[in-house]
């Protein structure tokens, strides 16, 4: 006959093998309870404590981000590589100059704009069909819940700073296009050409290759073979229109070629509990002029509530803005999810509808505990906080569709 300790070890082994499902747990407990109560007369209450305490502890540690805060103040943002200069600039502004959380986000995003991080932030990157670079940016105060943003901003380099001017000098949330440029100039920003020699050359090469890839569908002439100009095709029935799956294929081509895009950043101040978030990007390369992505959309590109936490996103913005993944992640944390599980939940919501979507979410709570999730690519994020001497970059493999 097995000893009591042996039986309990056996119980733990069986329970662990079924731990992922409540059905399995129920079967394991029923079997073990019956066996032990007959053999050694152990009461159900003491047995329950013995076999549940270990697995429940293990389960709480799985897929969790509890206890991984580096301390405050803290800055966390999408991507490593070129983007860690932004992490460092924002963090050092908090610890050396007493900057606010809003200041830190503006400084961090402005660093990437000036450095043209990966060619996907700031001037001279991602030209549209007309070879013009336009900028999207958003900044949000986690205490007041007020945000300011600019979309399709033309001829002004300082997109994140113009977004902050919208936040601080208007009661609006977003300004767009040429009139956003007028606002920027009236607030002291300088108008200048955002095209560089490199962006002009890349645009000419794209045109020489038949304008491939592009974002046109249901038009004539065939956008897979022609640069246009295009006219809409009138559908005779629903089956003649491009399917949702077909609509995503140009996005997949663009991401596979160009890689990273968008800086989305969250800053946590060391005192007072203040938080801020922001996003800056030059959007989708070869986009149709006038296109606005998820970057300047509050709740999509980024979102923050100082009572709960914040989120930054990157990826296929035309799809992601349909789900407001950062708003979803913060609200999931409000309901008790860890940052890691909140990130995974938000990404899986998109995967269920768009299995090929490329996305990356970084999520942090008000204590600095953080997590991330991705789909369609290996995502990275960077963070620095507390007494850290340098920025750490975390690699996040893509989730599998479930």
**What pLDDT does residue 134 have?**
98
For the stretch 177-233, pLDDT in tens is 999 999 999 999 999 999 999 999 999 999 999 999 999 999 999 999 999 999 999
Instruction: Record the pTM.
Output: 0.82
Assess if CATH 3.40.50.2000 describes domain 74-195+256-396. no
- Counting every residue written for the chain, the total comes to 402
| C-beta of residue 87 within 8 angstroms of C-beta of residue 391 | yes
**What pLDDT does residue 240 have?**
55
Q: Among this protein's residues, is 380 annotated catalytic?
A: no
Question: In the block, which residue shows the tokens 């066996």?
Answer: 35
Structure tokens at 77: 């943002």
- Non-local (6+) Cβ contacts of 239 within 8 A are none
Q: Considering only CA atoms, which of 180, 165, 360 is closest in space to residue 262?
A: 360
Q: Considering only CA atoms, which of 345, 353, 354, 305 is closest in space to residue 325?
A: 345
- The residue annotated as part of the active site, out of 262, 281, 314, 380, is 262
For the stretch 356-398, pLDDT in tens is 999 999 999 999 999 999 999 999 999 999 999 999 999 999 9
Judge residue 244's burial from the number of C-beta atoms within 10 Å of its C-beta, 0-12 exposed, 13-18 middle, 19 or more buried.
exposed
Domain ranges for the chain: 4-61, 74-195+256-396, 208-250
Q: Considering only CA atoms, which of 214, 221, 225, 199 is closest in space to residue 286?
A: 214
| C-beta of residue 190 within 8 angstroms of C-beta of residue 156 | yes
Q: What's the Cα-to-Cα distance from 307 to each of 37, 42, 310, rounded to whole Å?
A: 48, 47, 10
Structure tokens at 122: 């700031």
Q: What is the 3-state secondary structure (H, E, C) of the chain?
A: CCCHHHHHHHHHHHHHHCCCCHHHHHHHHHHHHHHHHHHCCCCHHHHHHHHHHHHHHHHHHCCCCCCCCCCCCEEEEECCHHHHHHHHHHHHHHHHCCCCHHHHHHHHHHHHHHHCHHHCCCCCCCCCCCCCCEEEEEEEECCCCCEEEEEEEECCCCHHHHHHHHHHHCCCCEEEHHHHHHHHHHCCCCCCCCCCHHHHHHHHHHHHCCCCCCCCCCEECCCCCCCCCCEECCCCCHHHCCCHHHHHHHHHHHHHHHCCCCEEEEEECCCCCCEEEEEEECCCCCCCCCCCCCCCCECCCEEEECCCEEEEEEECHHHHCCCCHHHHHHHHHHCCCCHHHHHHHHHHHHHHHCCCCCEEEEEEECCCCEEEEEECCCEEEEEEECCCCCCEEEEECCCCCC
The ranges of the chain with pLDDT < 50 are 1-62, 243-245, 247-259
**What pLDDT does residue 239 have?**
56
Structure tokens at 95: 């610890």
């Amino acid at each position: 006959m097995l000893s009591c300790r042996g039986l309990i070890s056996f119980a733990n082994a069986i329970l662990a093998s079924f731990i992922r499902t409540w059905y399995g747990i129920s079967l394991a407990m029923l079997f073990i309870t019956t066996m032990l109560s007959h053999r050694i007369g152990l009461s159900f209450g003491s047995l329950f404590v013995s076999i549940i305490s270990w697995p429940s502890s293990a389960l709480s540690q799985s897929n969790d981000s509890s206890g991984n805060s580096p301390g405050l103040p803290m800055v966390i943002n999408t991507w490593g590589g070129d983007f860690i200069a932004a992490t460092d600039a924002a963090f050092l502004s908090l610890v050396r100059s007493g900057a606010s959380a809003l200041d830190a986000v503006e400084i961090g995003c402005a660093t990437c704009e000036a450095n043209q991080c990966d060619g996907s932030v700031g001037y001279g990157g991602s030209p549209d069909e007309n070879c013009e670079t336009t900028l999207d940016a958003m900044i949000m105060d986690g205490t007041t819940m007020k945000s300011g943003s600019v979309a399709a901003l033309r001829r002004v380099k300082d997109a994140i700073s113009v977004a902050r001017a919208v936040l601080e000098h208007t009661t609006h949330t977003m300004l767009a296009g040429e009139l956003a440029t007028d606002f920027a100039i009236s607030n002291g920003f300088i108008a200048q050409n955002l095209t560089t020699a490199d962006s002009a050359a890349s645009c000419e090469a794209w045109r020489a290759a038949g304008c491939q890839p592009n974002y046109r569908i249901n038009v004539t002439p065939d956008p897979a073979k022609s640069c246009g100009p295009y006219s809409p095709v009138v559908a005779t029935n629903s089956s003649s229109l491009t399917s949702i799956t077909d609509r995503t294929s140009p996005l997949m081509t663009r991401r596979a070629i160009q890689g990273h895009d968008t800086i989305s950043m969250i800053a946590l101040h060391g005192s007072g509990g203040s938080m801020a978030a922001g996003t800056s990007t030059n959007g989708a390369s070869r986009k149709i002029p006038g296109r606005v992505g998820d970057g300047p959309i509050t709740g999509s590109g980024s979102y923050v509530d100082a009572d709960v936490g914040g989120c930054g996103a990157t990826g296929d913005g035309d799809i992601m803005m349909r789900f407001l993944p950062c708003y979803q992640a913060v609200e999931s944390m409000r309901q008790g999810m860890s940052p890691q599980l909140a990130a995974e939940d938000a990404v899986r919501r998109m995967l269920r509808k768009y299995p090929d979507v490329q996305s990356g979410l970084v999520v942090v709570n008000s204590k600095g505990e953080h997590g991330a999730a991705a789909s369609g690519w290996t995502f990275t994020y960077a963070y620095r906080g507390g007494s850290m001497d340098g920025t750490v970059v975390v690699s996040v493999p893509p989730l599998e569709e479930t």
